[in-house]
Amino acid sequence: MYASVDIPDENAAARREANVYYWADGTQMVSTGDVNRQNVRLSEIPDAVENAVIAAENDTFYSDSGVSPKGLVRAAVNMVRGQETQGGSTITQQYVKNTYLSQDQTVTRKVKEFVIALKVDQKKSKQEILQGYLNTSWFGRGAYGIEAAAHAYYGIPARQLDPSQGAALAALLKGAEQYDPSASAVNHHRSEARWKWILDRQVKAGLMTAEVRGKFTVYPEPQKESRTTSLGGQTGYLVDVANKYIKQHTSLTDKDLARGGYQIHTTFDRHKVRQLKGAVERVLDREIDPKKRAADKGVQVGAASVRPSDGAIVALYGGPDATEHFTNNADTSGVPVGSAFKPFVLAAALEHGISTRSGGRGTPWQAVSAGSSYDDSGRLRESTTPTLASGGIGSMNGTDSTRPTLRQALAKGGNATYVRLGKDVGWERVRRTAVAAGLLEGSMARLERTFPIGTSTPSAIRMANAYGTFVSRGLRHEPYSVTKVVKNDATDESVDGLTRPGVRRALDPDVADETAGAMRGVGVAAVGRPVVAGRTGDQDRLRSAWFAATTEELSTAVTMFRTSPGKPQLLPMSGVGGAGSRHGNVFPVQIWRDYVKSDTETAEAGSGRQP
């Protein structure tokens, strides 16, 4: 083996590559640029940083032969056990993997790594190997190499890193996705613990004196993550959603994507993205004035559009600028959905009926329709009051507003009605119905009295997708954002795992139709097309405002909420946009109406008709 394996040329990924993202029409959306790497000489890297890396990764680096026989044996044993073939590697072996081989976890690759490392150790000096390793290693935040990492985490060149910062960066070599302290509280705890260990390890290995170690007692917090200007505006949010989908459905990781070399074809419609962004900005510019009203400070908007026929995400609005506001408001949880959740309560009632609570041997369940209403005794009966006009929601003139039908309560507040309905049908059945329609189970709130009126916190993407289930006659399509990923190398092979998600039955067709019919009419006068919709009602006091609507062609959800830097809780919506805004509830409707009208006008202009 030693005689037959030669040191190969450097692989392409060790030099330079880029990812290119494409719109749904095949035109280029953005190129994320070459791999973020700036090679530096070992003489430009402080000794303390070198020592931190050696202590963390391979404290026998200067005395070993460049390989770890135990690591190779461990990889072989893991293969026999059917586990990943990862095993302990020396710095030389890791440098060989970064520079000459693929990142695949196979025994064949591990054996080649072992043999090539032996030869590289004989051919190159330890200083050359360490320099190559520090210039090719992955540190997270899109940074390959110590120089890019120093800028990404501390905003300084590598030569200015102090021993404490060097130890923090060395901790990332164990796995940047788990040790970037800004990613989560768990990551921060993990990173700080390893930082301490690396400093102590240097003392134990004779690479740092105890006196110097004693100077570093406070963890060196890195700066906030920044984005490249090419990912400004909505582009960064689109790329984030695409990357998230790729990582969920393929074997590619953050590290693989940061290495580059992929052509990524998305479902995003550039025209609809622009129209949605324009609609949000017009409403915010017209209605929200932080200088005039304190209640307007910290207002955030998230929105997403999904194609009901197949689940494709065609547009989203994640925030004002992905390089400044990192959280993607279209794909975030934590914002209570309010009365936009009520259609799932109605669907559950139509599907399962409600408990009569009659006791004894009476019929335990009672069928329900959208025309049912609660009488004075608290029983749900088929209403004899006039139904709403088919042309729109209108008012309740001519009906008994104290006993609204389920259809009327869905359109006009009706929190008390839906609190009672949710309890009668069963909170667990409501939860299962919402999840079946497309909401994530992890976004469901605690099952209690207010659960039916929207304490759950789905994302705008998930809400848009779930509403699409109603107009698809109960068929649920899983949302997707990427159609194809091609590795830009000699083979140009497509990455496996991106087959379009299948369809599943979520609701009985008649239940879906009746739920859709109960909501039909909102926005018809505004856009001239049949719409199914739900929104937060006037009685809501949650700290958010929502509007979700769907046609057979496009399902859209818009949310508005308020935040304050450094505070996890949402701020009250009272007073946002002035006294007449009904706690901001009118603005998501305005955004949706403006967005859909602009889409209608574009379509009519394109077909030769006057808008």
List all residues 6 or more positions away from 371 whose beta carbon is below 8 Å from its beta carbon: 382, 383, 387, 405, 406, 407
Please state, in angstroms and as integers, the Cα–Cα distance from residue 171 to each residue in 64, 102, 131, 195, following that order. 22, 23, 18, 6
Pairing of strands 313-317, 299-306: antiparallel
The conformation of residue 520, written as its DSSP 8-state character, comes to: B
Q: Which parts of 353-507 fold into alpha helices (H)?
A: 406-411, 415-425, 427-437, 460-471
298 close to 269: Cβ distance less than 8 angstroms? no
Residue 175 lies inside a defined structural domain of this protein:
yes
Return the pLDDT at 515.
Answer: 92
Closest CA relative to residue 484, chosen from 3, 24, 50, 2? 24
List all residues 6 or more positions away from 242 whose beta carbon is below 8 Å from its beta carbon: 21, 264, 266, 268, 481, 482
Return the pLDDT at 269.
Answer: 97
Return the pLDDT at 38.
Answer: 73
d(Cα 446, Cα 116) in Å, to the nearest integer? 56
Residue 371 lies inside a defined structural domain of this protein:
no
User: At 524, which amino acid appears?
Assistant: V
Task: Enter the pTM of the model.
Answer: 0.71
> Which tokens in the block code for residue 333?
């949880």
Q: What is the radius of gyration, based on Cα positions, of the chain?
A: 29
d(Cα 23, Cα 591) in Å, to the nearest integer? 23
| Grouped pLDDT means (10 residues each) for the chain, 611 residues | 55 61 90 73 93 92 77 60 56 82 56 78 87 89 87 90 96 91 90 96 94 95 78 93 95 84 93 96 93 91 96 96 89 90 95 70 72 86 53 40 82 85 94 97 94 94 96 95 84 81 93 90 45 44 84 93 85 83 83 86 42 27
d(Cα 85, Cα 369) in Å, to the nearest integer? 58
The conformation of residue 242, written as its DSSP 8-state character, comes to: H
Return the pLDDT at 227.
Answer: 62
CATH number at residue 131: 1.10.3810.10
> Which tokens in the block code for residue 268?
């995003």
Closest CA relative to residue 511, chosen from 418, 426, 437? 437
Return the pLDDT at 80.
Answer: 57
Return the pLDDT at 386.
Answer: 45
Residue 350 lies inside a defined structural domain of this protein:
no
- Residue 382, φ and ψ in degrees, nearest 5: -70, 125
Residue 355 lies inside a defined structural domain of this protein:
no
481 close to 447: Cβ distance less than 8 angstroms? no
Please state, in angstroms and as integers, the Cα–Cα distance from residue 308 to each residue in 157, 333, 461, 557, following that order. 49, 22, 12, 13
Residue 131 lies inside a defined structural domain of this protein:
yes
List all residues 6 or more positions away from 537 whose beta carbon is below 8 Å from its beta carbon: 338, 339, 412, 413, 414, 415, 585
Instruction: Look up the domain containing 106 and give its range.
Output: 34-213
Closest CA relative to residue 216, chosen from 283, 167, 288? 167
* CA 126 and chain centroid, separation: 42
* CA 511 and chain centroid, separation: 31
Residue 449 lies inside a defined structural domain of this protein:
no
Closest CA relative to residue 413, chosen from 505, 536, 502? 536
d(Cα 239, Cα 142) in Å, to the nearest integer? 13
SS3 205: coil
Residue 52 lies inside a defined structural domain of this protein:
yes
Return the pLDDT at 553.
Answer: 92
Question: Residue written as tokens 């997708």?
Answer: 465
Residue 178 lies inside a defined structural domain of this protein:
yes
Number of domains in the chain: 1
SS3 317: strand
